[in-house]
Amino acid sequence: MSWSYGFIWTSVVALVATLVTFLLGWDGLAIGILSAWTAFVLLVVMTRGMRWTSGLTYLSAVALLGGVGAQLAGLESIRNWFLLAWAILLLPTVIGLFSHPMRTPAWGLFAGFWGGVGVMWLIVLQILVVSGVLGGHVYSEWAAWPLAAIGIWLGVASCLGFGCEEFPNWVDGLGVLAGLGLIGISVSTWTGASGDVTRAVGLFAAIAYVAWAVAFGRMLWGTTEVTHRFMGRLDSVRGYV
């Protein structure tokens, strides 16, 4: 019951703070508070079971598709909101990826930690973009680092767990492609690639991520609760090392 009251009061404080900051004209701060509260809610939802995590993973794919569609339609402001939603939904997705069996969990934990940091970094950047504080080439340069960290985490988790009975090889193959796609966006930014090349790499990364997210979400749908999934996976990992 105490957890319920804590969640309710946290939500009330967050929503009141959001309303007050909007009324004061501090749009960036209001969006930041609302985004932090949304991420908190998603983390709470994850504790309800792996099917909830699966649903959030599906929604991350939908959000990214919406961002791509808005980009192709030339609706930049709508694209920014979709990408903010995608960044927030990435948080439960990358945390859920810790449940993937890995041959060397220590490397997975290291890469996953920085992947999570990258997601939180990306959320902050997208808040600044939606608020109109950040944009253009500066945004691309700053976003390249968290995208690379997230891409490395997707690739590491998929490679370390490749061949596991619980996850088909093709699912991990999609994870590797999605990771390479996100890393490719970063590399194209760092090397100053042309706009056409950057757009092509971005489109590939989006398609690969959506395909992987749908496949990964489907795998999570049939698993046990989060606590059992995280605590009961080591034995199965040892079985195929």
CA dist 97 → 113, 156, 186, 228 (Å): 11, 10, 21, 14
Domains of the chain by residue range: 102-240
Q: Which residue has the tokens 């508070």?
A: 33
pLDDT of residue 103: 78
Higher pLDDT, 222 or 120: 120
Lowest mean pLDDT among 38-47, 161-170, 174-183: 38-47
Contact 94, 232 (CB under 8 A): no
* pTM (predicted TM-score): 0.77
CA dist 32 → 63, 129, 179 (Å): 18, 11, 27
pLDDT of residue 212: 93
Among 49, 44, 55, 43, smallest CA distance to 88 is for 43
Average per-residue pLDDT for the chain? 79
Contact 17, 10 (CB under 8 A): no
Contact 60, 90 (CB under 8 A): yes
Higher pLDDT, 196 or 26: 196
Among 67, 9, 82, 19, smallest CA distance to 40 is for 9
The predicted model gives 167-182 an average pLDDT of 89
> For residues 179, 182, 184 and 185, what is the CA-based torsion angle, rounded to 10 degrees?
180
Higher pLDDT, 234 or 209: 209
Report the amino acid identity of residue 209.
Y
The predicted model gives 99-123 an average pLDDT of 85
pLDDT over 50 at 234, yes or no:
no
Three-state SS string over 33-92 comes to HHHHHHHHHHHHHHCCCHHHHHHHHHHHHHHHHHHHHHHHCCCHHHHHHHHHHHHHHHHH
